Structure formats: C-alpha cells, structure tokens
C-alpha cells in the first residue's frame, strides 16, 4: 500500500529524476529571458536564465 507520505509516491507523482548528488528533483520553471555572459561575473561561463525553479525531495 502506498501512502501520500511515501517518497516513492511523490517521485512517481511528480515525475522526479535522480539527482547525481543524491535525492530527487524536477525542474518546474525556466525563464525564457537570459542574462548574457558579458553581464555576469567571470566565474559564470556562458549566459544564465533569469530564474529557474525545481521540486527537490530528500528521502
């Protein structure tokens, strides 16, 4: 029997993928607009999205 508080229930229900560092995640939003590389500090290679959002589950 699966309960709403079981991790496997939420992994399946939300379509989460295994994260390489452990846990589970799924991106839920990625902005269409980006910040060009020239507008970012040198430590950021390439452009970056204005924003992203994820579901993240730790078991």
Quote the pLDDT of residue 59: 86
pLDDT band at 10; cut points 50, 70, 90? very high
Question: Bridge-partner residues for 18, per DSSP?
Answer: 24
- Percentages (nearest 5) of helix, strand, coil residues in the chain: 20, 30, 50
Whether the predicted pLDDT of 2 surpasses 90: no
Rounded mean pLDDT of the chain?
A: 92
| SS3 state of residue 21 | coil
Dump pLDDT digits (tens) for 33-54: 999 999 999 999 999 999 999 9
- Looking at residue 5, what is its pLDDT? 76
**For the chain, how big is the Rg over CA atoms in Å?**
16
Indicate yes or no: pTM above 0.85: no
Please compute the mean of the pLDDT values over residues 9-13 and round it to a whole number.
Answer: 93
Separation between Cα atoms, residue 40 and residue 33, nearest integer Å? 14
């Amino acid at each position: 029997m699966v309960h709403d508080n079981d991790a496997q229930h939420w992994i399946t229900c939300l379509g989460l993928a295994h994260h390489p560092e452990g846990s589970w995640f799924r991106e839920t939003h990625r902005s269409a607009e980006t910040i060009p590389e020239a507008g970012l500090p040198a430590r950021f290679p390439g452009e970056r999205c204005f924003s992203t959002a994820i579901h993240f589950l730790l078991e």
